Amino acid sequence: MDVKRLRHDSWADNSKFMAERVIPLVDHRTAALPVPQAPATLPSGVLRDARGRPLRDLRISVTDRCNFRCAYCMPKEVFDSRHAWLPQAALLNFEEITRLARLFVARGVGKLRLTGGEPLLRKGLEALIAQLAALRTPAGRPLDITLTTNGSLLARKARALKAAGLERVTVSLDALDDAVFRRMNDADFPVADVLAGIEAAQAAGLTPVKVNMVVKRGVNDDQIVAMARRFRGSGVTLRFIEYMDVGATNGWRMDEVLPSAEVLRRLQAEYALVALQASAPGETAERWGYAAADGRHDPALGEVGFISSVTQAFCGDCNRARLSMDGKLFLCLFAGQGYDLRALLRGGADDERIDAALVAIWQGRADRYSELRASHSSDAARGRRVEMSYIGG
Ligand code: SAM
Ligand code: SF4
Ligand code: SF4
């Protein structure tokens, strides 16, 4: 594997990072898995991977840049002024993204999520959304198109995003307390602006808005109940995400994970909650609804979700593929390498060739990292993982 450091300083400097438990970045972007040979016959029905899982959800990362430096994702000691960002020419352009999305949709994808980095930093994103919104499933249905954002530019952009064809947004917000929030985004960004973004998204009809809160024990777990109080009955679904060992730079430790069961226990000390059914197969969040006085779920009060990829693996029905901004296809959030679809696109491959590659890649997929976490936890395995800011959440 062609592994290259992105920093200009020497390995001797590592002690500084290790002391802070931040690990220097290994560049996964130059390495790629060879695209497998096309199968002799292409399936005509549902495309399934080696574990029988269909392909339903494509997450498209549109930029490697971000204006936040959340320590769990892009620690600023690693993603600093010396970090080598991808040049514009390396990024898939909107026509390339749309062409790939069309081929994925023909193979069963019905849901697209734009992500990053911070997707709203990608210039002209509305034009991409409009192109994607024009796609139809084989049954002629429009796609479910959504976007995950840190919310910093949302107040400005919500209406244009909706007009372009975006259906919904998920906003990441880790605290209501301004000081805690500024510490977590490590860019001194005020919480009020993200809250304004959430309100603008609701006003623009990008609903139902979801809010993702990554919970780190001892960092923002004192915000759990305040966040629930703020969003209960507001039309926003708050989802608690276990701090994950994704990437290789965040110095993840199990003792900083607050298990979802503990988050639920703290919420139940304040509110009556009832378990709800999963909304769709492959849904990542376990849902709990706020109960009315009669003990039944009151839809007006809404619900909360728990994404527990550390304590409760959900690989069994994982139907998600991830496309990086430079056109690599990843089959798991915890993968170390992706398949270089950009080389196919720019090498002149026709649609049939690219479709055959998608089929071969998906049929060979056996990933189930979260189920195998315990046996993968060595530092060596961690060093091979791609960063979340590269393939999105
Ligand atoms: N910048 C956008 C944002 O923050 O919403 C989109 C990209 S971000 C990588 C996507 C999601 O990944 C966010 O909700 C973020 O909180 C989550 N995330 C990043 N690193 C994580 C980690 N180590 N554990 C759990 N969630 C993480
Ligand atoms: Fe940026 Fe999102 Fe990562 Fe935070 S989680 S650093 S906002 S990409
Ligand atoms: Fe899917 Fe990989 Fe996460 Fe399992 S660990 S749910 S296979 S992305």
| CA distance linking residue 219 with residue 290, whole number of Å | 26
Residues with CB under 6 A from ligand 2: 66, 68-70, 73-74, 116-118, 150, 172, 389
The answer to which of 35-44, 48-57, 355-364 has the lowest mean pLDDT is: 35-44
Answer positive or negative: Cα dihedral of 10, 14, 16, 22: positive
Q: Can you tell me the mean pLDDT for 219-245?
A: 97
237 CA to centre of ligand 3 in angstroms: 23
9 CA to centre of ligand 3 in angstroms: 34
| CA distance linking residue 305 with residue 71, whole number of Å | 23
**316 is a domain residue:** yes
pLDDT of res. 314: 81
Structure tokens at 347: 């090498």
Q: Does position 67 have pLDDT exceeding 90, yes or no?
A: yes
Residue 14: pLDDT band by 50, 70, 90 thresholds? very low
**36 is a domain residue:** no
pLDDT of res. 12: 32
For residue 211 and ligand 3, the question of a CB distance below 6 A is answered with: no
pTM of the model: 0.91
Overall domain count for the chain? 1
Residue 64: pLDDT band by 50, 70, 90 thresholds? very high
pLDDT of res. 20: 47
Answer positive or negative: Cα dihedral of 370, 372, 377, 382: negative
Q: Does position 340 have pLDDT exceeding 90, yes or no?
A: yes
pLDDT of res. 26: 55
How far is the first Cα of the chain from the last one, in angstroms, to the nearest whole number?
A: 24
**232 is a domain residue:** yes
pLDDT tens by residue, 80-122: 999 999 999 999 999 999 999 999 999 999 999 999 999 999 9
Q: Which atom of ligand 1 is nearest to the CA of 213?
A: 16
**194 is a domain residue:** yes
**20 is a domain residue:** no
C-beta separation of 58 from 108 below 8 A:
no
Q: Torsion angle of alpha carbons 244, 250, 255, 259, nearest 10°?
A: -20
Structure tokens at 303: 């619900």
Q: Does position 179 have pLDDT exceeding 90, yes or no?
A: yes
Distances (CA, A) of 207 to 113, 132, 235, 236, 289: 14, 18, 8, 8, 18
Backbone dihedral region of 328: left (phi > 0), alpha (psi from -120 to 50 degrees) or beta? beta
């997929």: which residue's tokens?
A: 365
Report the run of H or E that residue 304 belongs to, with start and end: strand 303-307
| CA distance linking residue 344 with residue 353, whole number of Å | 8
334 CA to centre of ligand 3 in angstroms: 7
Q: What is the mean pLDDT of the chain?
A: 89
**CB-count burial class (<10 Å; 0-12, 13-18, 19+) for 57:** buried
pLDDT tens by residue, 140-152: 999 999 999 999 9
pLDDT of res. 9: 33
| CA distance linking residue 200 with residue 149, whole number of Å | 13
Selected residue with higher pLDDT from 6 and 234? 234
Q: Can you tell me the mean pLDDT for 302-312?
A: 94
Query: Whose CA is closest to atom 20 on ligand 1?
Result: 73
Q: Which atom of ligand 2 is nearest to the CA of 73?
A: 3
Answer positive or negative: Cα dihedral of 115, 138, 282, 360: negative
Residue type, position 111, single letter? K
**3 is a domain residue:** no
| CA distance linking residue 148 with residue 59, whole number of Å | 10
pLDDT of res. 13: 40
Structure tokens at 326: 């430079």
Query: Whose CA is closest to atom 2 on ligand 1?
Result: 149
For residue 17 and ligand 1, the question of a CB distance below 6 A is answered with: no
Q: Does position 19 have pLDDT exceeding 80, yes or no?
A: no
Q: Can you tell me the mean pLDDT for 248-270?
A: 93
207 CA to centre of ligand 1 in angstroms: 20
For residue 393 and ligand 1, the question of a CB distance below 6 A is answered with: yes
Report the run of H or E that residue 80 belongs to, with start and end: none
pLDDT of res. 336: 87
319 CA to centre of ligand 3 in angstroms: 9
Long-range contacts of 252-259 (CB under 8 A, 24+ apart): 252/72, 252/382, 253/21, 254/310, 255/217, 256/216, 256/217, 256/218, 256/219, 257/216, 257/217, 257/310, 257/311, 258/215, 258/216, 258/217, 258/221, 259/308, 259/310, 259/311
Q: Which atom of ligand 1 is nearest to the CA of 246?
A: 23
Among all bound ligands, the one having the nearest atom to the CA of 319 is 3
**14 is a domain residue:** no
Residue 386's CB: how many other CB atoms inside 10 A? 26
Domain around 175: 54-391
Selected residue with higher pLDDT from 281 and 136? 136
pLDDT of res. 115: 98
For residue 151 and ligand 1, the question of a CB distance below 6 A is answered with: no
200 CA to centre of ligand 3 in angstroms: 32
CATH of the domain at 160: 3.20.20.70
Percent of the chain with pLDDT over 90: 75
Q: Does position 27 have pLDDT exceeding 80, yes or no?
A: no
Q: Does position 2 have pLDDT exceeding 50, yes or no?
A: no
**148 is a domain residue:** yes
């915000």: which residue's tokens?
A: 223
